[in-house]
Amino acid sequence: MNQEEQKPYGFCRNCGHPFTEDDVFCEGCGGDLSKIKESIKKREQKEQVTEQPVTTHTKKKKKNRNLMIGLVVILLIAGLAVGGFFLKQYLDEEKPVEEAWGQTYYVYLKEMKEEDKEEEAGIPKNMKDAKLTFYEVSDLDDPIMVLEYQVEEEVYSNIYYIEEEKVNALTYQKPTEVELLYNIDSKEYDYYTHTSEEDKDSYQSISHQIESISKNQDDQDDSNKVEETPEYVFTKEDVETVTDEDGKELSVSKFDTTFVKVENTKDHSINYKNDLTEKELKDLMNEGVSSYIPQKELISKELEKEVDKKAQEIKEKQEQIEKVKKEIESKGFKVGDHYLKYGKYQSDQEPGTISGGYYTLNPDGTFVYENTWENMLGERTTTKRTGTYEAKYSTGDMMDPKQCWMIIFRTKESNETYPQETDVYDVLEDNKFTARQYPNTWTPIE
């Protein structure tokens, strides 16, 4: 390539002739070009250094702009988060409790608190260990709510149920617990209120109570106060006991032949306090709704088998008791080595005499004595006395050294005809007893 065709790198200072970067001497005057080329290179290097800060400054401005955008985005996100939190708080306060019945109970308890009517709703201020539980009962669309608590170490229970979107409260004047029972005769599960007193235990079906109150609502001044009309009452004496020939004692209570108490169910109660805030109450009710277990889920197949097993054991025990009773009745009352069958015995003395009349031995250990008297005018009067009898072995004494088994009759009550007394008879053979005081013998006639 010719010199003219190349782009000049510079011009000679002596003659002005152009030169390229590769030229060492000027083609016009032959002068040395090294100093001129060195000067040009220094100028180029200086220009490069001068341009560098301009490039750096542009990038820094871009970075600052990105930083500002990032800060704005962060502040915007933080603002949305804070706003969202308060929005959620507001929405939570306005959001109803899950399930319509849960919201109904929540509003009821909330209003009782706000209006200071908790005592009126049966919720005492001095209650302890309070728990709320929701139960399913028959013939009601919504679950009932049971509040169980303690006052002076006694357990009480209040029952709340929804009727026509209104909450009704059942409160009790005596310590009361709610129990799930299986009725052996009807083969049905139901919740009962159990009132325990010193001499008796009373049970009322909750579904029957609600049904009765609903029918008679218009006739009652205060439907919250439950009249004590229990369906089942069991006294401490309601226990049947027999002893077989081997000396084994069998007993069964009237309660056991009526109910099987269902135990070992899953606890789905929630703790309750008087001083709950509105939010705490709502959270509590949501927890209660979530933990609610319908009866068909509460009573598992395994639990049904356990209940059936208990009912069958009671049935078998009843059959054993009946069998022993028949054996006892067939043989009668055992006195030592002899038996006196149950029924009516007649004295070999004439009726109307002091040693005449009839004794009736009952299997329950009671007797009835009756005698007919005739006065001088031929008028007849029948008198009776009752009491208990028992067998006893006589070891003899100085007045009467006879040693044998005896049957002793003790009059239950005294009256004008017969003062309270004790009659003793020797039992020397089966189905016969003989008086010691008066020579007469008694034998069965029925």
Question: Is residue 8 helix, strand or coil?
Answer: coil
Query: At how many degrees (to 10) do helices 100-114 and 278-291 cross?
Result: 150
pLDDT range class, residue 442, cuts 50, 70, 90: very high
pLDDT range class, residue 217, cuts 50, 70, 90: low
Mean pLDDT within 243-271: 90
Domain ranges of the chain: 100-320, 338-444
Task: State phi, psi for 139 to the nearest 5 degrees.
Answer: 70, 10
**Does the pLDDT of residue 5 top 60, yes or no?**
no
CB 440 within 8 A of CB 350: no
Q: Is the pTM of this model over 0.85?
A: no
Q: Is 138 exposed, middle or buried (0-12, 13-18, 19+ CB in 10 A)?
A: middle
Nearest CA-CA partner of 272 in 51, 112, 410, 387:
112
pLDDT range class, residue 105, cuts 50, 70, 90: very high
**Does the pLDDT of residue 225 top 80, yes or no?**
no
The mean-pLDDT minimum among 114-128, 303-317, 393-407 falls in 393-407
pLDDT greater at residue 7 or residue 127: 127
Mean pLDDT within 405-414: 84
Report pLDDT digits (tens) over 89-99: 544 555 787 78
CB 398 within 8 A of CB 299: no
**Does the pLDDT of residue 117 top 50, yes or no?**
yes
pLDDT at 11: 76
Report pLDDT digits (tens) over 270-327: 999 988 999 999 999 999 999 999 988 899 999 999 999 999 999 999 999 999 988 8
- Token pair 């049947």 is at which residue? 240
pLDDT greater at residue 3 or residue 249: 249
pLDDT greater at residue 2 or residue 246: 246
**Does the pLDDT of residue 20 top 60, yes or no?**
yes
Report pLDDT digits (tens) over 128-183: 999 999 999 988 899 999 999 999 999 999 999 999 889 999 999 899 999 999 99
CATH code, residues 338-444: 2.40.128
CB 155 within 8 A of CB 145: no
**Does the pLDDT of residue 401 top 60, yes or no?**
yes
pLDDT range class, residue 79, cuts 50, 70, 90: low
Among left, alpha and beta (phi > 0; psi -120 to 50; other), residue 330 is alpha
CB 307 within 8 A of CB 262: yes
**Does the pLDDT of residue 351 top 70, yes or no?**
yes
pLDDT at 29: 81
pLDDT range class, residue 54, cuts 50, 70, 90: very low
Mean pLDDT within 187-196: 94
